[in-house]
Structure 1
Amino acid sequence: MSENVAPTASAPRSLHGWSTEFRATFTLAWPLVIAQVAQNALQASDVIMMGWLGPEALAAGALASSFLMPFFLFAAGVVGAVAPLTAQARGARDIKAIRRIVRQGFWAAILLAALLLPVVLQIRTVFSWIGQDPALAARAEEYIQIAVLMLFPALGVIVLRSFLSSFEATRVILVVTIGGVVVNAFGNYLLMFGNFGMPRLELRGAGIVIVLTNIFMLAAMLAYVLRHRRFRRFNVLIRFWKPDWPRFRELFHIGVPMGLTVLAEVGLFTAATMLMGRLGTDEVAAHAIALQCASLAFMVPLGLGVAATVRVGIAYGRQDREGVRKAGWTSFALGTGFMAVSALCFLLFGPAIVTIFLDPGVPENRHALALAASFLAIAGIFQLVDGAQVVAAHSLRGLSDTKIPMLMAIFGYWLVGLPIAYVMGFVFDWRGVGIWTGLACGLAFVAVLLVGRFAMRERLGLLDRIRL
């Protein structure tokens, strides 16, 4: 079936042209991009301030966070299904459905947090199994025993972010996230170090603050939704305890593959870090530098991806094939366009960029800096495919298509990218360059599959709910 289908009364003509879609997507996406950067800043402030406590506290806090985050990211992927579902309901002008979807999103958040909490609390046992230093494991447990409670408010924040994003109310997300960064930094200053007469709680203080920060963000977003005239009509908390089992099941049906897709990609980069650890300290340091630079650039297509989910979902909900096409390809063009610029920067200015992280005047740093520059050159090459795959995946989420993309991601990352990384790095002795080459190949493979799937959405029956 061709992309250009003549509209009928059942399948309305797209309401606007390419330029209008471009402006709508950009307006929706830019606050989300900055909010993603701010979220990274929140995590970075934790790491920096833990470092002020000393290397042991930093190591323990980093280990605890690295243990907690995969569980959180999986759960966030599941409840993130609120975004495409509410966008589709908005397109269909179904206010009652929106309220029920958000309510079931909160239910899913509470259930997932309750299920994951006892698992995360086994951190000391898990660390003992894998041979971590007992003293570090004990200090990591100090942090995680409190920090794990952040799952409840943090997943609630994801539900409200998804709801607000589906109505293009992204500036409030940005403001609340920046507020969270401030609360987190000030709270750490008080409770980690005992300033202004507060007790010095060190890592326990950091755990308390991350919970309080997420409670603040949840309360701020919830107050906005309940009080703002645009959103209070949805009454998202009315009859909160009333179940809607079909929508609850649908949320997990769409969301679980989303969560597993996130885990597959995070796991690939974690595995790459483990492989780097076999090569030496300089390789690990260089890998961390290049990964930090690539992650920062990735925030732009990630924000555009969320915008793509919303724009595609709205068009899908209003039965607008042409709108789906314009929304998906506009986000794709913006995402890959930005990544082309960042790729050029990495390729041309990589050696200068890496000096932000290590002093080139110190002789011991020179090898790590040279490695980081070479890794960043390859990161520049895969910037394009990384942007393409994340926007394509989010566009497909707008069509509630998540299961097949999940399988594509798992196959591409773990059966293509990781084996190539190992073979290139260790069999062909390309070392760190070979590992980064494998990452690029895995991302490129997934990007081709996902972009191709969106391009063939009509033939694959992904738009069958839109009547001709």
Structure 2
Amino acid sequence: MVLSDYTKEFKYNWRLAAPVMLGMLGHTFVQFIDNIMVGQLGTAELAAVSLGNSFIFIAMSLGIGFSTAITPLVAEADAANDFKQGKLAFKHGLFLCTVLGISLFFMVYFAKPLMYLMQQPEEVVAFAIPYLDLVAFSLIPLIIFQAFKQFSDGLSMTKYPMYATILANVINVVLNYLLIFGKLGFPELGIIGAAYGTLASRIVMVLYIWWLLKGKEKSKNYVTNIKFFVLERSMLKKLIGLGAPSAMQMFFEVAIFTAAIWLSGLLGKNPQAANQIALNLSSMTFMVAMGLSVASMVRVGNQKGLQNYIELRRIAFSLFLLGTIFATCFALLFFVFHSELPKLYVDFDDAENLIDNTEVVAIASKLMLAAAVFQISDSIQVVVLGALRGLQDVKIPTIITFVSYWLVGFPVSWFLGKEEAYASFGIWLGLLAGLTTAAILLYIRFNYLTKKLIHSKHDAT
């Protein structure tokens, strides 16, 4: 094949992926605004949000990862014009996500005492615990929203979750401004204000996406007249079989970034705040790759439904190429502006915290260099993982992600992240090692699997 065979898919790939990217970027942009607002309060408060969210990210990874099982099943049913199977997949997915959201809330709520056992800075823990109570409760509407989002993506209606996320983001930013700083007569609640903003925006997000989908011809029959507790064991089993490995894949990746937060906490509040800055900036670019990953899952799922494996492979490679182009641009951006971007998060006019703020920016600037390098491997691994989910291949990729992040990445972070070694930069070298290993192994898996499917169909004919 020539290059144009792949690039001609860019326009459709972008049309499918862009709403997902914008929705996810919007969500991450709110965290960016949160961090800038909280950063004005001080480095301890910024580190506290980082520590609190580290628990939330682990729970979110399980919920969001599990919900991805809905998309390929709905995409496959949509391509085959099988409404009944599509509705079954959505209804059972919604039920499981609701149960999971409630379970994750209780898990995080009762895990708070672990903060005292993790040798984190005491000042940071004191701020983090009340913040975590409210944000943990917001997991329930967030995971329910994910069920609607993944269903909507499966029908290639990717713009509606984007609209819901944008509305939620506007509400979050406004409430944060009013409640963190006590503007327009509202109480000044500090980082607790940020938690209230998050909770309120996530409740609105669920209600709005349901209202949007209920009003659309293609989706209204799916999201109305749902017999929520009339369940079929076979569909539950299928969703759990796909969802549990996907949840573990996301958990293994998110957990190593969470481990980076905790390892940074062992170095002190300033390294932890610097880690949060680099993590937040990297998360924003990662959402572009995540958008392409969803497009990859949907388009591969459609082609799997049609059993057109040669076309499936061509479309997937066009997505891998597009992801690599974006990642290269972000890598250059991070490299060129590695010293300037962290300055957005701190107040250099704050004379009382000037020494802390200067140290935070210096550490974060170095971390941005590591983040620049892993843009490419991070993009490849997540877009290929989306393609594998579209193929409903989840077990081997789960093993690959565990090996990459926890047998390769974490030991590097642990040994190089000590004060006497490379400190914070060493932690991020471990992240780079894990992501690169995952990208290589997942690509090998996809390449092997698609060639095998093509040969099998050829032999059958």
Query: Which range, TM-score by smaller chain?
Result: 0.7 to 0.9
1:438 & 1:312 partners in 2: Cα distance?
31
In the TM superposition, what is the alpha-carbon distance from 1:24 to its structure 2 partner?
Answer: 1.4
- For the 8 Å contact 1:425–1:432, the answer to whether it is kept is yes
* 1:34 to 2:22 alignment: yes
What's 2:213 paired with? 225
- For the 8 Å contact 1:77–1:255, the answer to whether it is kept is yes
1:186 & 1:61 partners in 2: Cα distance?
18
Does 173-182 or 458-467 show the bigger shift? Answer: 458-467
* 1:419 to 2:411 alignment: yes
What amino acid sits opposite 2:115 in the alignment?
F
What's 2:62 paired with? 74
What's 1:122 paired with? 110
1:164 & 1:138 partners in 2: Cα distance?
40
What's 1:443 paired with? 435
- For the 8 Å contact 1:103–1:236, the answer to whether it is kept is no
Given candidates 107, 117, 122, the residue that maps to 2:95 is 107
Secondary structure class of the residue paired with 1:350: coil
- For the 8 Å contact 2:348–2:357, the answer to whether it is kept is yes
Given candidates 445, 451, 457, the residue that maps to 1:453 is 445
Q: 1:238 to 1:84 in 2, by over 3 A?
A: same
In the TM superposition, what is the alpha-carbon distance from 1:355 to its structure 2 partner?
Answer: 4.5
Q: 1:258 to 1:22 in 2, by over 3 A?
A: same
- For the 8 Å contact 1:399–1:462, the answer to whether it is kept is no
What's 2:234 paired with? 246
What's 1:151 paired with? 139
The TM-score with structure 1 as length reference comes to 0.85
Given candidates 53, 78, 93, the residue that maps to 1:90 is 78
Does 362-371 or 221-230 show the bigger shift? Answer: 362-371
What's 2:374 paired with? 382
Q: 1:375 to 1:121 in 2, by over 3 A?
A: closer
2:47 & 2:96 partners in 1: Cα distance?
32
Q: Report sequence identity in percent.
A: 30
* 1:266 to 2:254 alignment: yes
- For the 8 Å contact 1:121–1:145, the answer to whether it is kept is yes
In the TM superposition, what is the alpha-carbon distance from 1:300 to its structure 2 partner?
Answer: 1.4
Deviations 1:96-136 (A, max 9, x none): 11111111111011111232232222144333444667886
Given candidates 394, 401, 426, the residue that maps to 1:402 is 394
* 1:328 to 2:316 alignment: yes
What's 2:291 paired with? 303
What amino acid sits opposite 1:340 in the alignment?
T
Consecutive unaligned residues of structure 2, counting only runs of 5 or more, are none
Q: 1:136 to 1:292 in 2, by over 3 A?
A: closer
- For the 8 Å contact 2:43–2:270, the answer to whether it is kept is no
* 1:293 to 2:293 alignment: no
In the TM superposition, what is the alpha-carbon distance from 1:405 to its structure 2 partner?
Answer: 0.7
Q: 1:345 to 1:114 in 2, by over 3 A?
A: closer
What amino acid sits opposite 1:406 in the alignment?
T
- For the 8 Å contact 1:401–1:462, the answer to whether it is kept is no
Does 50-59 or 264-273 show the bigger shift? Answer: 50-59
1:78 & 1:192 partners in 2: Cα distance?
33
1:365 & 1:117 partners in 2: Cα distance?
33
Given candidates 410, 417, 421, the residue that maps to 1:429 is 421
What's 2:11 paired with? 23
Q: 1:138 to 1:170 in 2, by over 3 A?
A: same
2:225 & 2:357 partners in 1: Cα distance?
55
Consecutive unaligned residues of structure 1, counting only runs of 5 or more, are 4-15
In the TM superposition, what is the alpha-carbon distance from 1:299 to its structure 2 partner?
Answer: 1.8
What's 2:244 paired with? 256
In the TM superposition, what is the alpha-carbon distance from 1:176 to its structure 2 partner?
Answer: 1.7
Deviations 1:64-98 (A, max 9, x none): 33323311221121112111211121122211111
In the TM superposition, what is the alpha-carbon distance from 1:396 to its structure 2 partner?
Answer: 0.3
In the TM superposition, what is the alpha-carbon distance from 1:147 to its structure 2 partner?
Answer: 3.4
1:200 & 1:357 partners in 2: Cα distance?
20
1:53 & 1:315 partners in 2: Cα distance?
51
- For the 8 Å contact 2:267–2:423, the answer to whether it is kept is yes
1:207 & 1:355 partners in 2: Cα distance?
24
- For the 8 Å contact 2:50–2:272, the answer to whether it is kept is no
What amino acid sits opposite 1:450 in the alignment?
L
2:422 & 2:396 partners in 1: Cα distance?
33
Q: 1:72 to 1:347 in 2, by over 3 A?
A: closer
What amino acid sits opposite 1:164 in the alignment?
S
1:367 & 1:251 partners in 2: Cα distance?
47
1:55 & 1:277 partners in 2: Cα distance?
12
What amino acid sits opposite 2:103 in the alignment?
L
Does 455-464 or 337-346 show the bigger shift? Answer: 455-464
Does 418-427 or 433-442 show the bigger shift? Answer: 418-427
Secondary structure class of the residue paired with 2:9: helix
1:462 & 1:63 partners in 2: Cα distance?
47
Q: 1:233 to 1:250 in 2, by over 3 A?
A: same
1:282 & 1:132 partners in 2: Cα distance?
12
1:282 & 1:202 partners in 2: Cα distance?
19
The TM-score with structure 2 as length reference comes to 0.86
What amino acid sits opposite 1:416 in the alignment?
V
